Structures are given as C-alpha cells and as structure tokens.
A and B are shown apart, each in its own frame.
Chain A
Amino acid sequence: MDILQLFSAVLLGLGAVLGVVGAIGILRFPDFYTRMHAAGITDTLCTGFFIGGLMLQFGMTLATVKLLLIFMFMLFTCPTSTHALAKAARKGGLKPWSKSDTGSGAQNEGRAT
C-alpha cells in the first residue's frame, strides 16, 4: 500500500472519530452554551483532518488548492456563525448553566431555546 494512501486513510479515520466525539459531546453537555464548545471540535480539527486526508488523495493538483481554500473559508465563517448563535441566545435571555445548578434545572433551561 502506498504510504500516502495510508496517511490519508489515517487522517480520514481520525476525522471521523473526532466527528463522533463532537456528537457525543453535544449529547452529554448540560446546556446550549457548553454544547457549542463541543460542536467546536467538529468545526475545526475534524474538518481539518478530513480536508488533509482528501488533499493527500488528490496530490499536487488544483483540487488540493481548492480544498485548502475551503479550509480557510471554514476558519473564517465558523467562528462568525458560532458567535452569532451565542449572541442570539444571550439576547433571548437564555441563562448559562453553572455548576451550582441542579441537573434538571439545566435541562429545562436548555429546552427553552
């Protein structure tokens, strides 16, 4: 097996694992704001691994440059949308969960979104 193919497979696999971990985080975390942090994994490193793996598949072609551009656009747009979500939640009056709250209270507040 080609060494580049192997590398690419490893990167794609790691990306997939990180995507699943991000999803688990979204399910496990108590409220909207903390879930946003978990989603950050899928925004950044997961995408990065996927795009890295695909770039190795394509080698030195224009497609690789395009993938790099996609990654750059992701880095610009993801934080903007995350910030917009957080700000909207804040403006809508959603109170952030804190450790002193009981589990059930956080559940209810989370549902208020």
Chain B
Amino acid sequence: MKHMTGLLFFLALLWWVLSGYTTPLLISLGIVSVLFAAFLAYRMDVVDEESHPLHLSVKLIRYWLYLLWQIVISNIKMVKIILSPNPDIDPRIVSVQIRQSSQLGKVVLGNSVTLTPGTVTLKIEDSRIEVHALNQESAQGVEQGTFDERVPARVEDQS
C-alpha cells in the first residue's frame, strides 16, 4: 500500500512536471492516465521495494551526491590520461569479492562502477564482481571497495 501511494504520487508529479498544464480538463485526463499506469504496474506485480525503494530515498540521494563527486574525480584522471603524450594504459580484469547480497544492491554497485570512467563492470556473479579497469590506479579503486561500502541497499537487505 505504501509503495502504491508512492508510485501514484511520483507518477502524478512526473506527469505535471513533463506537461505543465493546469486546465481542469487536461488535469483530469492526467489523473486518468496516472491511475491507468498504476493499475498496469499493479497487474504486472512490480510495485514493491525493488522497483520503488522508498526506504532508501534519503540515503540514495546522499549516495548519488557521493557518486557524482567520484565521477568528477575519475573524469579528471581520464582526461589527463587521454591528453598525456605517453598514456598510462595498462588494462586488466580484476575480480573482487562484494558485500551486496540483495539484487538491488548488486545492480546499484555494478552501475556505479561502470558509470565512473576507467572501470566497466563485465560480470556480476553470486558475490563477485568482474571489472575491466584501464590501469592499475582505477583497478585499485575497485579493489578497495569504497563504492561497495557506500551502496545504501546493503543496510536493508532483503532476499
């Protein structure tokens, strides 16, 4: 029920932000389409913690800010590597043990690793992540597991 209310709220907000209409007719049409979309989601049985991690909202925003900062840092490193006359490229594939046990946590971690330039997630299996790293420095970043510690889904594990 909590997730349904959240879904309806976000759909309505999204509808209004994307359209910007305020006339009664269009708003009532918007309400109808929001209800219909929510009904479809309900029928598909996808209204749950995974599609709608309400319990993580605040932590997720904090994590995003941290992630954005990491993206900026690794971007600067990448620009330096690309523009240096003798680029420090020593690609390697590393396999690292991860702490995430929930599906959501693994997806968030894998995407975060791919999103930072210099590392790309190749495979996530049970509790290991396989990463292609551009050089030793970026590989170390994954091996130290700073993302792994910060992914908020880890705290609220559900199978």
A: residues with CB less than 8 A from B are: 18, 21-22, 24-25, 28-31, 33-34, 36-38, 40-41, 43-45, 48, 62, 65-66, 69, 75-76, 78-80, 82-83, 86-87, 90, 96-99
Contacts and interface: CB of A to CB of B under 8 A. Distances in A.
Contacts of B93: 96
B148 to A, nearest CB: 16
Contacts of A18: 75, 79
Nearest to B79: A21
Nearest to A30: B89
Contacts, number: 105
Given A40-B117, A41-B78, A79 B111 contact: yes
B134 A34 contact: yes
B105 interface: no
A64 to B, nearest CB: 10
Interface of B: 14, 17-18, 20, 68, 71-72, 75, 78-79, 81-83, 87, 89-93, 110-112, 114-123, 132, 134
A87 B132 contact: no
A96 B115 contact: no
B120 A41 contact: no
B75 A41 contact: yes
Contact of B78 (A40, A79, A83): A40
Contacts of B122: 83, 86-87, 90
Contact of B91 (A24, A33, A48, A87): A33
Contacts of A21: 79, 82-83
B18 A37 contact: no
Given A28-B82, A38-B82, A82-B114, 4 more contacts: A36-B120, A40-B78, A66-B17, A80-B111
Contacts of A79: 110-112, 114-115, 121
